[in-house]
Amino acid sequence: MLELLLAKSECEVTNLGVVADDESVLERVLLDAARNNDAIVTSGGVSMGDFDVVKAVLSRIADMQWMQMSIKPAKPFAFGLLRADDRRVPVFGLPGNPVSSMISFELLARPALRKMMGHTRDLVRPSILALADSPLRRKPDGKVHFMRVFAHFGDDGRLHVRVTNLRRPRWRTRSPWCPMVPAVTRATQSK
């Protein structure tokens, strides 16, 4: 999924595959990637756990910031610069969960990568207003919650959304994106 999101964002992708949980192997792969690419996007290993090979290696070889974003899904995120030879290469560390990874990519990595490529427009995807067919319920925890929705045009000709309860969405294998709405946006419930 991440490779497709990058390609659809007009990035030339070098897929390094799954790298073993071995610090020396991972360090070698990341340094080589930094020498041969303009940016590095990883998935997994950015949570706040004490032991994680990705976090251990990047903390040692790059100037990283490890963050807990106030969004759900996609709370953990990392960004930093990895020095390789005379270059400083940006590193975007996305969560390992596929939905969280997609949200982090769209909100944080994609706009930065497109800016790096010289784009001045379409850095973020457009927002579309829709009517909520049912309340967008969420925990009042101060986070922006992104919810999976089904979108359809109603008999009134307007776009409507309804929350889906799919934990393993069927569209994941067919589509590089899905409609998602932040639950804290102003939503007008249809009547």
Q: Domain holding 92: CATH number?
A: 3.40.980.10
pLDDT at residue 166 in the model = 60
Does 139 share its domain with 107? Answer: no
**pLDDT tens-place string over residues 53-68:** 999 999 999 999 998 8
pLDDT (0 to 100) of residue 177: 41
Q: Is residue 124 part of a domain?
A: no
- 110 and 177 share a domain? no
Which residues of the chain carry a pLDDT beneath 70? Answer: 48-51, 166-191
Give the pLDDT of residue 186: 43
Domain count for the chain: 2
At 130-163, the pLDDT tens digits run 888 888 777 788 888 888 888 889 999 999 988 8
135 shares a domain with 63: no
- Contact present, 161 and 132 (Cβ < 8 Å): yes
Question: Are 55 and 88 in contact, with CB atoms under 8 Å apart?
Answer: no
- Neighbouring CB atoms inside 10 A of 42's CB total 21
Pick from 79, 56, 190: nearest CA to 135? 190
Domain that holds residue 76: 2-116
Of 92, 116, 140, the residue that ends a domain is 116
Assigned domain for 122 exists: no
What pLDDT score was predicted for residue 5? 92
97 shares its domain with 23: yes
Q: Given this model, what pLDDT does residue 143 score? A: 85
Residue 13 lies in a domain: yes
Q: Is residue 126 part of a domain?
A: no
pTM for the predicted model, two decimal places: 0.81
3 near 15, Cβ under 8 Å?
Answer: yes
Q: How many CA atoms lie within 13 A of 125 on its CB side?
A: 17
Helix, strand, coil percentages (3-state) for the chain, rounded to 5, are: 30, 25, 45
* Domain presence at residue 180: yes
- The Cα 36–Cα 169 span in angstroms is 35
Contacts of 73 (CB under 8 A, 6+ apart): 95, 97, 99, 100, 103, 146
Phi, psi of 34 (to 5 degrees): -65, -30
What pLDDT, on the 0 to 100 scale, is given for residue 187? 44
- pLDDT at 180 (0 to 100): 55
